[in-house]
Chains A and B, each alone.
Chain A
Amino acid sequence: MAYQKHRILMVSDFFYPNFGGVESHIYYLSQCLLKLGHKVVVMTHAYGNRSGVRYMTGGLKVYYVPWRPFLMQNTLPTFYGTLPIIRTILIREKISLVHGHQAFSTLCHEALMHARTMGYKVVFTDHSLYGFADVGSIHMNKVLQFTLADVSQAICVSHTSKENTVLRSGVPPEKVFVIPNAVDTAMFKPGPERPRGNEIVIVVISRLVYRKGADLLVEVIPEVCHLFPNVRFIVGGDGPKRVRLEEMREKHSLQDRVEMLGAVPHARVRSVLISGHIFLNSSLTEAFCIAILEAASCGLLTVSTRVGGVPEVLPDDMIVLAEPDPGDMVQAIKKAISLLPKIDPQIMHERMKKLYNWHDVAKRTEIVYDRALKCPNQNFLERVSRYLSCGAWAGKLFCLVMIIDFLLWRLVQLLQPTEDIEEVPEFTVSNHQDREMFLNSSEVQSSR
């Protein structure tokens, strides 16, 4: 139980109006934390014309800082450029804790670095798995090592992800908590009745990229269509590999058995899911996979590749796992088709409601925040010495980066003193319903 209400700044390059796993995680988590009584502010980069301060449901304040994204949604990494605006936001919103999301977000790393320099407690959530071997991964892991060398607590979305993060960054495992994602079961409900007919519909909704196993689909779909004449596929999503799937359709004349929907907006995902019986996920790597949660919540039986954190997500009777190999996946689909009569979508949905719940995620995150705030304050020299263990060259470089950051912070304090930054007054987001409840509760209290 939390005794203290926190004021949290969520930082990431990935937020609404983009849709995705990280974005919806930040949004749902923030909404549930607001319901628990904490104050949450989100900071992200500007999306096109959407720049400045916006308010979302429940009074969630979002700062769209006008820094241009330069590569794959990420803000240009200037190391120290974001220091003044982050300092201003931290002071004016009276933030007590900074929560960064996604290792791939440059804004997140910069914000966490500046927040640590200024003495704030910092929590980091990692949402993806990364490799160790290629050049990109090596650099990413070094950056992560830098950020996590001095983080108060870290959160991963599955045990596999925790293992991956600990190995990549060298952070002590005691500092890492595992809090899985959840699904909005109110939105993903099964249809009033299952799709009729003796056809079995297999749904695939994912970005058609290499990472999500689009190449596996190209091999699996014709084989399944050949073996099972009553099976039909619905493929939603877009990406560079779409061309390959279209070619496959042409080559095997499957135009009437494979329907390509193109990019499916998030609001329409449920309507596509409930038109099927089985959900197929062919990802080659996945830290958690919210897509299969959504499918299970809509009452579909899932067939997935056994990669990353996927085996941890659903109970064994709701999912059929296969190796990321076409032959094995075809066998798994065969098994799923035979299991189909035993599945009741409503029962599945009820079970999902009990298993996954964003309010539960928020409560667990609250515990992590409480722990983070209890971490002892360390002085500057002690903190800088932690970076020395990051590597022979890297350690010294990181120390230098932090020392420069500290000096720049002092300079910014001189140029824009703390007294000049006004704190934002508290607003209560009024709602007629809330006001009634408030009036009723105050009447009840006064009558006691």
Chain B
Amino acid sequence: MVEFSITNQRYTYIDDHKWPSEEIDIHHIIVRKSNAKGFIVCVSAFVVLANGLCLFLVKDISISIIFWSFLLSAILVKLMFWKSVVKESVVVMPAFGVQLETHYRSGRIARRFVPIGKILKPVLLECVTPITCYWSLSLILRGEADLMLVFKELHPPMKMLVPIWKALCIACGSEESSDPSIKNG
């Protein structure tokens, strides 16, 4: 089993290649736990609840304030834990297809499968938003106008995307173009 990993402050990349016993190549991007963020969310939820309780007890505002503060803190906690992504994986099955998985903290896993024949080419693109610019890995699909993002929620850095891109290129048989040549990776 060949395992290869790169870490940075936000993400850990693991290449799980069970070779030569299996052909399947799995690439994981795992989000490193940010304790600060969780702490801040819990503290804010607590502050909101305490405020609601205080207003009810001291200032004699109706009990519905407690209900609203519960609701607000529940929303905060839900946003923090329910929708947050633990891991995104790319399972490359040569000659068969590619499976893209997103694992959420709540235990839910969202999967998308792309048959190998549908992939025209995997590409690394620069995405520009009004605030920033980042690299993303996308698949050009045959017969479709839109590109499919490999990592829907996460923005891993270039050094983690390059080995995945190379593996996808090999799997779908498109040549990595030698020109334009990359001088420093």
A residues whose Cβ falls under 8 Å from a Cβ of B: 51-53, 63-67, 81, 84-85, 88-89, 92, 416, 419-420, 422, 424-430
Contacts and interface: CB of A to CB of B under 8 A. Distances in A.
B157 interface: yes
B143 interface: no
A65 B128 contact: yes
Contacts of A53: 125-126, 128, 133
Contact of B180 (A65, A92, A428): A428
Given A422-B158, A428-B180, A430-B180, A84 B132 contact: yes
Contact of A66 (B129, B135, B157): B129
Nearest to A422: B158
14 contacts: A51-B128, A52-B127, A52-B128, A65-B128, A66-B128, A84-B131, A85-B129, A85-B133, A88-B132, A420-B157, A425-B184, A428-B179, A428-B180, A430-B180
Given A85-B133, A89-B133, A422-B157, A428 B183 contact: yes
State the main secondary structure of chain B at its contact with A. loop
A65 B130 contact: yes
B73 to A, nearest CB: 25
Given A425-B184, A428-B183, A430-B179, A85 B157 contact: no
B185 interface: yes
B2 interface: no
A435 to B, nearest CB: 8
A416 B132 contact: yes
Contacts of A429: 180
A51 B135 CA distance: 15
Contacts of A425: 158, 182-185
Interface in B85-138: 125-133, 135
A420 B9 CA distance: 9
A301 to B, nearest CB: 47
B180 A63 contact: no
A147 to B, nearest CB: 22
B62 interface: no
Q: Which of B129, B131, B135, B183 has the most CB of A within 10 A?
A: B131
Contacts of B129: 66, 85
Contacts of B158: 422, 425
Contact of A85 (B130, B135, B182, B183): B130
B34 interface: no
A193 to B, nearest CB: 44
Nearest to A424: B126
B156 to A, nearest CB: 11
B35 interface: no
Contacts of B126: 52-53, 424
The winner among B130, B182, B184, B185 for most chain A CB atoms within 10 A is B130
Contacts of A63: 128, 133
B183 A64 contact: no
Nearest to B177: A430
A425 B158 CA distance: 10
Contacts of B127: 52
A416 B155 CA distance: 13
Contacts of A85: 128-133
A427 B180 contact: yes
B181 interface: yes
